[in-house]
Amino acid sequence: MDYEVIVAGIGGMGSATCWQLAKRGAKVLGLERFDIPHAMGSSHGLNRIIRLAYFEHPNYVPLLRRAYRLWRETEQIAGEQLLYVTGSLDIGRSDSRVVMGALEACRQHHLDHEMLSADDTRQRFPGYRLPDTHVAVFQPDGGFVASERAICRHVMLASAHGADIRGREAIRGYDRIADGVEVTTDRGRYRARRLILSTGAWIGDHVPALAARAIPERQVLGWFQPRTPQRFSLDSFPVSNALFDEGHVYQFPVWGVPGFKIGLYHHRNETGHADALSRDATPDDEDLLRGFLARYFPDADGPTLGLRTCMFTNTPDEHFVIDALPDAPEIIVASPCSGHGFKFVSVVGEILADLALEGGTRHDISLFRLSRFGA
């Protein structure tokens, strides 16, 4: 065998996995079809929200707790801050899935939290202008992770621990062999005991069973210059996701660039193959985001600083897939994330290293099984 584990796709998930594997002494090859880091997938655009009051499902909370610990551990080793705590708000009507789900996660896992009315929210966080019909669940541990910086640090640490990581080398296919897998790329062939596929929006190209169940979707992130910058600073503006009548948006304080950052879940419902989705942002994209600024973040409604497109890869139930292939257990899949995966990459790296080296993990990943999709 050339390697113990080959990791295909060195974005958030793959980079963290290389680091966790190399840290445990495994001989690792990491392969990325684009540059490391790059702006073609789902890991770029400065930062990603991390939040504990997880409206999507309370079972994510223990994973999040471990993710926080591992982010802090990596920061310590790397000597660079990667996780910034701002607090988080989950905003919606009081009977919405966002508010009910966030409260359920808080109750089940005894998380510190506060319920805020629209007026409370405006008083305390004046960048927000919520309609009176809406409420917010404040949870003090929320914040964001510096996404490209995290990838760079994972790769640097993995390389220093002996991992062999290569950009601009695309996998063409893989074959099962005795005791492992042979991976063919556009530059060579490599044998390993295990193959981890963390190819994000391209996962359907590598795992036919996921082609119809992991659907890439175009997203657009916008940065807009606040007219009142002090209302959007790290210490005055918690990250949030907000389910308004016009759509579900997520937003960040000013960090890195002098712009308030906002995105709309399922932006314009544009789905397709990852190679075919447009990476250009248009004035229509800008207008769509601006509509939310005008209504709900009016002090952020200044000139545009930037727009970037990225991708979600959505499953039918919007939970992740983290599992070995049923008919080829030496091949482990760690995509798609349905637009909410980056915050977890520290713990997903640990889980994948567990699965590849131990054949199992102590973490509860029952939500992420392939078998839930049926045959």
- Site string (318-337) toward another protein, x via CB under 8 A: --------------------
The angle formed by the CA atoms of residues 348, 352 and 354, to the nearest 5 degrees, is 115
- Residue among 307, 325, 367, 370 that touches another protein (CB under 8 A): 307
Please check whether residue 128 is in contact with residue 116, taking contact to mean a CB–CB distance below 8 angstroms: no
Least CB distance from residue 125 to another protein, whole Å?
A: 22
Residue 170 binds to another protein (criterion: CB under 8 A): no
- Whose tokens are 């995105």? That residue is 263
Angle subtended at Cα 286 by Cα 86 and Cα 341, rounded to the nearest 5 degrees: 45
Nearest distance, CB of residue 375 and another protein, angstroms: 40
**Which 282-301 residues touch another protein, going by CB under 8 A?**
286
Choosing from 24, 65, 166, 369, the residue that interacts with another protein (CB under 8 A) is 166
Output DSSP code: residue 271.
B
| 233 is an interface residue for another protein by CB under 8 A | no
Q: Rule CB under 8 A: is residue 236 a binding residue for another protein?
A: no
Q: How far apart are CA 11 and CA 15, in angstroms?
A: 6
Q: Which of 1, 156, 288, 357 binds another protein (CB under 8 A)?
A: 156
Residue (of 349, 310, 343) closest to 64 by Cα position: 343
Whole-angstrom distance, CA of residue 75 vs CA of residue 58: 26
Residues in region 39-58 near another protein by CB under 8 A: 39
* Number of CB atoms found within 10 A of residue 133's CB: 11
Segment contacting another protein by CB under 8 A, of 51-59, 80-88, 255-263, 329-337: 255-263
At 184, which amino acid appears?
A: T
| From candidates 77, 257, 276, 294, binder to another protein by CB under 8 A | 257
- At closest approach, how far in Å is the CB of 44 from another protein? 11
Q: Which is nearer to another protein, 208 or 303 (CB)?
A: 303
Question: Cα-flanking dihedrals φ and ψ of residue 332, to 5°?
Answer: -120, 135
Which candidate, 264, 276, 271, 269, places its Cα nearest to that of 215? Answer: 271
Which residue reads 């989705």 in tokens? Answer: 277
Considering the complex, state which of residue 303 and residue 374 has its C-beta at the smaller distance from another protein. Answer: 303
Task: Please choose, from the candidates 170, 227, 208, the residue with its C-alpha nearest in 3D space to the C-alpha of residue 327.
Answer: 208
Tell whether residue 150 is a contact of another protein (CB under 8 A). no
Token pair belonging to 85: 């705590």
153 is a site residue for another protein (CB under 8 A):
yes
Q: Please pick, from the candidates 35, 73, 245, 364, the single residue that binds another protein as defined by CB under 8 A.
A: 35
Stretches 30-38, 85-93, 128-136, 362-370: which one binds another protein (CB under 8 A)?
30-38
**Given the complex with another protein, which of 133 and 228 has the nearer CB atom?**
228
Least separation in angstroms between CB 167 and another protein: 4
Least distance from another protein to the Cβ atom of residue 193, Å: 22
Render 218-259 in DSSP notation, one character per residue: EEEEEEE--SSGGGGSTTT--EEEEEETTEEEEEE--BSBSS
Q: DSSP of 161-188, one letter per residue?
A: TT-EEESS--EEEEEEETTEEEEEESS-
Tokens of 160: 């220093």
The Cα–Cα gap between 18 and 175 comes to: 21
Stretch that binds another protein, among 31-39, 199-207, 327-335, 338-346 (CB under 8 A): 31-39
Q: Residue 4 Cβ, how far from another protein at the closest point, in Å?
A: 17
Which chain residues interact with another protein by CB under 8 A? 32, 35-39, 151-156, 159-160, 162, 164-169, 187, 223, 225, 256-258, 281, 286, 303-308
